[in-house]
Amino acid sequence: MNEIIKNLKKTDSCIQRLIQTRSLLEWDQETYMPEAAIGGRAEQIALVESLIHERITDPKVGESFDKIGVNDDSPEGPGNLEKPDRSFLREMYREYRRNMRLPKELVYKIARQASLAQAKWAEARNASDFNIFAPDLKNLINLACEKAECLGYDKDRYEPLLDEYEPWMKPAQIDEIFSKLSEKLKPLLVQIMQSDKKVDDKIIERKYPVAKQREFGISVLKSMGFDFTRGRLDISAHPFTTTLGSSDIRITTRYNENYFNSGIFGIIHECGHGLYEANFSKGIQGTLLARGTSLGIHESQSRLWENIIGRSKSFWTACFPVLKRLFADVLSDVSFTTFYEAINAVKPSFVRVEADEVTYNLHIILRYNLERELVSGNLSIEDLPYAWREESKKLLGIVPERDSEGVLQDIHWSMGAFGYFPTYTLGNLYSAQFYRSMQNEIPDIEDQIKNRNLEPVLCWLKENIHQYGSIYPADQLCLKVTGENLNPDYFIDYLTGKYREIYEF
């Protein structure tokens, strides 16, 4: 048994290095690669992807699982072992089974098409012309459907796609969570919009020089515990985090000189992801357990930092004086309250990443509804921009005029990532539930944050979440950390409390 596990770990170790290599190629594509290099880059990424597929589907891997009698991918893992080996075999078997069902040619095609489509998407977004991207998107949807058919499902083709990002979660669970959530979000939004108290957020659109935004961002990253000897901050069209090794965490943001929120909240958000990636326990580093246990849990880390801490009164009590000194010309006439309210202003808007905390999840529900329809074949690519506008009207009450502010705004579909969006909302829900537990365990946490001491926050997250990587599946981790299953009420309570104070209703 030990010998077999040792061999599987060797295979995994090689696969993890290939994954890191692919991540480096992707990181470079999104940051510094010259435009014309895209053709060659797509081939390189597809080759590495097929090498990964080759390793995981090696007949020796299958023989190993046969010998030790591992043949299902239940969340518990093989019963005769202790953690983390038990979790290791569970995750490795999931990867093996998944890949065995996918022909190598399909894996290559998807990786190549996704890389090419990302470049087309960027071109289409700049021109705000959906037609430039439509043929590539059509290919990607067809490939995603083909992939889902290979992977198999019970009721719904969307199942295996969601499962890739949020293991073991079913579309029916998402449906239930989302309908409960939107039932409560809509009246909250109405209360805010109808309040007599109006928040003026014009100061966010003053001119904030990029160099100073970066300087401030770096100081925030340092106080969050981001280690620049083990990571970098760069610029990309769409902020992201990637891990090139246990001591090489890359985060990106985008700055907008006339919109303060973009740069700083992108930085705080991605740093939340980066800290998770940087703090897996030594014993699992370099293995497939050294990754977020689900994208929902990963996103809970970024959203907890970005919103619950990064947009809180306590955080800005500590940081606003620093910001005001740095942007003396821009903010000299701005009070703390004006600033705090401006960064938290609620209003339906077109762009998801710049949405406030209340309307954000309506953006996700919009995308979820559309991708369910695309994958089931009920919605054609030709009708997608129209369907987007219709959903936007229904959920947010506004209709984007330009595709760049509508259907073309997000990179995900161009990466072939269908089933990814709902994890953002799960992240918001988990973040509020986790933070409640943190508050219970560290009663003076708000005072610590007010004093710009963010160390207790990071320590708590390391101890309760980061160190485990994917040893525990998301629902087990949630139960372990908070004593109950995922419960959207924590998020609703958090939003209601915060915005009732700001909007005085």
Cβ proximity to Mg ion, 302 vs 344, nearer residue: 302
DSSP symbol at 408: T
Cβ proximity to Mg ion, 302 vs 482, nearer residue: 302
Query: Site mask, Mg ion, residues 397-436, x = CB under 5 A?
Result: ----------------------------------------
- Distance in Å, CB of 241 to Mg ion, minimum: 7
Cβ proximity to Mg ion, 171 vs 292, nearer residue: 292
Could you say which residues in the range 289-308 bind Mg ion, by CB under 5 A? Answer: 302
Q: Give how far the C-alpha of residue 303 lies from the chain's centroid of Cα atoms, to the nearest Å.
A: 9
Shortest-Cβ-distance residue relative to Mg ion: 302
Q: How far is CA 307 from CA 41, 195, 261, 316, in A?
A: 35, 22, 12, 12
- Distance in Å, CB of 267 to Mg ion, minimum: 12
Cβ proximity to Mg ion, 44 vs 425, nearer residue: 425
DSSP codes, 289-342 = TSS-S-HHHHHHHHHIIIIIITTSHHHHHHHHHHHHHHTHHHHTT--HHHHHHH
Amino acid present at 489 = D
Cβ proximity to Mg ion, 115 vs 431, nearer residue: 431
Residues designated as active site: 270
Closest CA to 250 of 467, 27, 25, 458: 27
- Distance in Å, CB of 299 to Mg ion, minimum: 5
Closest CA to 308 of 463, 430, 459: 430
- Distance in Å, CB of 366 to Mg ion, minimum: 18
Closest CA to 306 of 457, 204, 440: 457
Both tokens of 479, joined, read: 């139960």
Cβ proximity to Mg ion, 29 vs 302, nearer residue: 302
CB burial of residue 211 (10 Å; 0-12, 13-18, 19+): exposed
Q: How many residues bind Mg ion (CB under 5 A)?
A: 1
C-alpha dihedral, 86 to 172 to 164 to 106, nearest 10° = 130
- Distance in Å, CB of 433 to Mg ion, minimum: 18
Query: Site mask, Mg ion, residues 252-291, x = CB under 5 A?
Result: ----------------------------------------
Cα separation, 347 vs 485, whole angstroms = 31
Closest CA to 485 of 501, 499, 473: 473
Determine contact, residues 157/145, Cβ cutoff 8 Å: yes
- Distance in Å, CB of 351 to Mg ion, minimum: 15
For residue 103, is the peptide bond before it cis, meaning its omega torsion is within 30 degrees of 0? no
Give the interface with Mg ion as residue ranges (CB under 5 A): 302
